[in-house]
Amino acid sequence: MSDKYYESEHYGKMVDDLSIAMGHHLQPEKQARLAEIEARLEARLELEAATTEPARPPEAVSEVEGLSVAEAASAYGLSTSSVRRLLSSGKLTAPKVPSPKGMEYRIAPASMEALGYKAKRTLSGVVVTEARANLEAEQLTARVKELEAALGLERVRREAKEREAELLEQSLTDLRAVIEKLPKALESGKRARWWRK
């Protein structure tokens, strides 16, 4: 869901309803209302998680290993023109392979490094291209959103439990006060039997 939803009247009303319901836990209709609101919120978060666009699968590895001109330029911090200039001058050699866009170069990372260029690599040794970095950023963004939604749900649950604990503590205090008054009430409630008057 977008941030606009959390700023909307509907969300604000739902949060208000939830806080009102939590404050009156002793009334069964309020408990039912609280359960209904929690269920709606949980269902909405599950729906949001299910309808978010799934992260794209990692790029398929082509049959011929290597980087395209654009990927090589991104990975080694060059422009595509510079990579094409290296190819046309013969300093860099790469085979041309068919692709969906037509014939394209597949540049081996070793040949770029032989010319003295250093690639940006991940911890696993994979050459970082702009497309791969964008894919990983999308996957991480989706995971962050999932975690934020789960955190929001847990926050609501924790607040509800804290409020319930406060109300139970208050009820316990009230019961202790009643128990302390009980012996006095019992003594004052005893009447003399009619035959002992």
Same domain, 78 and 117: yes
Position 129 in a domain: no
What is the rounded CA–CA span in Å between residue 126 and residue 122? Answer: 5
CA contacts within 13 A on the Cβ side of 9: 0
What is the rounded CA–CA span in Å between residue 45 and residue 50? Answer: 9
Same domain, 76 and 114: yes
Instruction: From residue 120, give the alpha-carbon distance in Å to each of 77, 125, 129, 181.
Output: 8, 9, 8, 77
Give the per-residue pLDDT at 172.
93
Position 15 in a domain: yes
Give the per-residue pLDDT at 4.
56
User: Which is it for strands 102-105 and 96-99: parallel, antiparallel or unpaired?
Assistant: antiparallel
- Token representation of residue 21: 């319901």
Residue 97 has pLDDT above 50, yes or no: yes
- Token representation of residue 25: 């836990």
Position 142 in a domain: yes
Position 110 in a domain: yes
Give 123's pLDDT tier (boundaries 50, 70, 90): low
Q: Does the predicted model carry a pTM greater than 0.85?
A: no
Q: What is the mean pLDDT of residues 82-107?
A: 90
Same domain, 47 and 10: yes
Give 10's pLDDT tier (boundaries 50, 70, 90): low
The parent domain of residue 167 ranges over 3-51+138-185
Same domain, 79 and 111: yes
- Token representation of residue 161: 């439990």
How many separate domains does the chain show? Answer: 2
Position 96 in a domain: yes
Using only the alpha carbons of the chain, give its radius of gyration.
34
For 131-182, how does the pLDDT look when each residue is reduced to its tens digit (9 = 90+)?
677 788 888 999 999 999 999 999 999 999 999 999 999 999 999 988 888 8
What is the rounded CA–CA span in Å between residue 90 and residue 94? Answer: 9
Position 8 in a domain: yes
Give 42's pLDDT tier (boundaries 50, 70, 90): confident
Helix %, strand %, coil % for the chain, to 5? 65, 5, 25
Position 41 in a domain: yes
Count CB atoms within 10 A of the CB of residue 161: 11
